[in-house]
Amino acid sequence: MFSVWGIRGESTSYVPGAIRSRRRVERIEGIRAPHPPVPHDPSDIRDGITVHEKAYARRAYHQIEEKIPERQPALVAKQIFKAPVVSLNPTASLAEAWEIFCTRRFRHIPVLNVSGRVVGILSDRDLLRETGNALLSSPADSTASATQVQELMTTQVLTAHPDVPIREIARVFFEERIGAVPIVDGSDDLVGIITRSDILRTIMTAAPIDLWI
């Protein structure tokens, strides 16, 4: 179910504990609707509420009902992974990576070779650990612009298939101390990514919490 991808774009079977780990919730858009019209005729008022306000409230209620999708159990990766995935190539500069981290609010970016295979993953923590405060004070400094992503990325990347149970992915996050798992399909193409935040968000917003000890 899980595979580990290396610098050459080749995968091996995952063995627990075998990988070396280097160490924003999207804003919910509210329903936008025009303000209820101000009544022009006092006779429209019933019980302190105008006919127009009642109609406005009724429309807003139905809009909310339409926005709520039918709930279903979240069991496997393909139900919650994020796609499409923003990726980097190995020769991209650290300055390019930092711009993505800042503008897209990501914490992990997969690195793909020319064949589209996963060959690494870069985290914002890796980048800041290596560069210190240089990127914070001067993102376009010569060091960040001259250093390539492949010099810093983690080259043993644990991936999962779309049908892997979310519970298994959560277990791997805990045991391997990693924060993200790229999702690859049967053709080894990158189709999504799951982070710890995605699992927590699913638990908070969609999943019933049933704890057993």
User: The domain that contains 152 carries what CATH number?
Assistant: 3.10.580.10
Between the two ends of the chain, the Cα-to-Cα distance in Å is 26
- Which of the listed residues 45, 68, 91 is the one where a domain comes to its end? 68
Looking at the structure, tell me whether residues 64 and 167 fall in a common domain.
no
**What pLDDT sits at residue 166?**
92
Same domain, yes or no: 151 and 48: no
pLDDT at residue number 34: 53
pLDDT 10s per residue in the chain (213 long)? Answer: 788 877 777 778 887 776 665 444 445 455 555 555 555 555 555 555 666 677 777 777 766 655 555 666 778 999 999 999 999 999 999 889 989 998 999 999 999 999 999 999 999 988 888 776 666 666 566 677 788 999 999 999 999 999 999 999 999 999 999 999 999 999 999 999 999 999 988 877 765 655 555
Angle, helices 94-104 vs 124-131, to 10°: value is 130
Pair (38, 52) in one structural domain: yes
Separation between Cα atoms, residue 132 and residue 125, nearest integer Å? 10
Residue 210 lies in a domain: no
Q: Are residues 111 and 126 in the same domain?
A: yes
- Only one residue has tokens 């990347």, namely 157
Q: From residue 11, how far is each of 47, 49, 160 by CA, in Å?
A: 70, 66, 11
| Residue 182 burial (CB count, 10 A) | 25
Q: Are residues 17 and 41 in the same domain?
A: no
Supply the range of the domain harboring residue 121: 2-27+75-205
In a domain, 211, yes or no: no
Task: Look at residues 68, 90, 117 and tell me which one is the last residue of a structural domain.
Answer: 68
Number of domains in the chain: 2
Dihedral (CA of 133, 135, 141, 145) sign: positive
118/156 same-domain check? yes
Rg, C-alpha atoms of the chain: 23
What distance in Å separates the CA atoms of residue 151 and residue 120, rounded to the nearest whole number? 10
Half-sphere exposure (Cβ direction) of 83: Cα atoms closer than 13 Å: 14
Does 162 share its domain with 123?
yes
Residues 21 and 103 in one domain: yes
CA dihedral for 91, 93, 99, 101, sign (positive or negative): positive
Q: Which of 41, 68, 95 is the last residue of a domain?
A: 68
3-class secondary structure, 67: helix
Residues 38 and 96 in one domain: no
pTM: 0.65
Do 53 and 123 fall into the same domain? Answer: no
Whether 23 is covered by a domain: the verdict is yes
**Residue 155 phi, psi dihedral angles, 5° rounding:** -105, 0
